[in-house]
Amino acid sequence: MSSSPNTNDRAAFSKWLPWILLLILIAAFIWLFMSMKTPSEATWEPPRTTAAEKQASAPAADTPAPISSYHNAVARASQSVVNIYTTQTMAEHPYMDDPVLRRFFEFHSDGPQGQGPTNLGSGVIVSEDGYIVTNAHVIEKADEITVAFNDGRKSRAKIIGTDPDSDLAVIKVDMTGLTPLGFREAPSRVGDLALAIGNPFGVGQTVTQGIISATNRTGLGVNKFEDFIQTDAAINPGNSGGALVDARGELVGINTVIFSRSGGSMGIGFAIPTALVEQVMNALIKDGRVSRGWLGIEIQSQLRDPTRLETSTGVEVLNVIDKGPAAKSGLKVGDIILTIDGVEMTDANKLIQYVARKPPTTELNAQILRNGKNKQIKIMLEERPAQEVVEPPTIIHDESLGGQPSYHGEGQDEAVMSEEERIRMREELLKLFENDASIQ
């Protein structure tokens, strides 16, 4: 009697079933072993940037071809950057009428009597007929201004106007056919290439390269109105008033100040952006002064604790000037200004810069917080009154300050000797002169 096909199939299945079960058991054991591995036994891999992220962060070249030199940009911009030399006539020393003391001072002086030291800086040509923008501190107290051009020509310059609040000034030479430097229209971005052109230490026109390290820097205490571009392009004494340009040779800002421990460049320099330069320059050329909007309040930023996760924005009103624009609008002490024209006021510096860039008679829409409730107030700006002239600070660089400048005011009265000290000094000098004569 022959077996049926079904019987043979069952026999074959029964034969392979133990092996199949064994393979399943081994696979289950391996899976269980792998899943029970501790994190320390697992292989760690760093996070990877996706293809989309790589594409989004890829640097954009100024031209389709790779850039191997910035010669063309520098050649175009450098013909618009000038070197500025200023001198100041010094008053005669009060003891020069004494022949003995006069001999001493003339022997130890560094030049003709009455001629002060020569200061140096840089400037940027902004018109074909001779207007030049520079820093106000470059030409401060100057009795004579000499401008040296890139092609070797020199000319005397006169002051058109200065704005110490922004540290900008405009001077003019009696020349035509000059090459002005074009202003960059697009705002600067962090990471953009930056080239600083100026006359550091008086060695001659020099170009240094870096990037835009930050924008909208305020609260440095250097100028009254601050909105700096920060760059790591080397800026040194003599670069003040010079050009900060981009890879195309377009003006990005006017180099102004550095933070340094030694007095030389340490990679933290600041330039005034072209938006502010253009505003001040046009006002100085047109009117000889800058007219700014004024609220008539004293303010402070909301106190912030860096250890707290929640943030507090807005600017608190500490005082309202009587009969000022803010007082007329109904703003009160204790109000917190949250926004102006829809722009969030994150701190006092931002509010000051925003208002200063508006002309008088501009109407502002302010959102304030009063007694826990939001309120809208319209304020009509008035012209900022003339401020009391204060001698600018001298920046003293000190290793012990960790790079932060220490400010000491200039203009202190010179120490004047008493009559007894003058007589004693005169006698000592006479003895010194007699000894010198005997030696000869």
Question: Tens digits of per-residue pLDDT, 255-274?
Answer: 998 876 666 667 788 999 99
Residue that is written with structure tokens 């010179």 in the block:
414
Element (H, E) at 179: none
User: What share of the chain has pLDDT > 90, as a percent?
Assistant: 24
Whether residue 428 is predicted with pLDDT greater than 80 in this model: the reply is no
For residues 187 and 35, the model is more confident at 187
pLDDT at 102: 55
Please give the pLDDT value at position 24: 85
pLDDT digits (tens, 9 = 90+) for 216-225: 887 777 777 8
Amino acid at 126: V
Q: Is residue 400 over pLDDT 70?
A: no
Question: Which comes out higher in pLDDT, residue 385 or 370?
Answer: 370
First to last CA, the chain: 151
Kind plus residue range of the DSSP H or E element containing 85: strand 81-89
What is the mean pLDDT of the segment spanning 313-335? Answer: 87
Q: Any catalytic annotation for residue 408?
A: no
Average pLDDT (90-115) is: 53
> What mean pLDDT comes out for the span 425-429?
65
> What is the predicted pLDDT for the residue at 95?
52
3-state secondary structure 264-278: CCCCCEEEEEHHHHH
Find the catalytic residue in 80, 137, 163, 246.
137
How do beta strands 363-370 and 269-273 pair? Answer: unpaired
Q: What is the pTM of this model?
A: 0.66
Please indicate whether residue 401 or residue 263 has the higher confidence score (pLDDT). 263
H helices, E strands: number in the chain: 8, 22
From 78, 122, 166, 167, active-site residue? 167
167 is catalytic: yes
Catalytic pick among 240, 260, 265, 301: 240
pLDDT band at 154 (very low <50, low <70, confident <90, very high): very high
Confidence class of residue 435 from pLDDT cuts 50, 70 and 90?
Answer: low
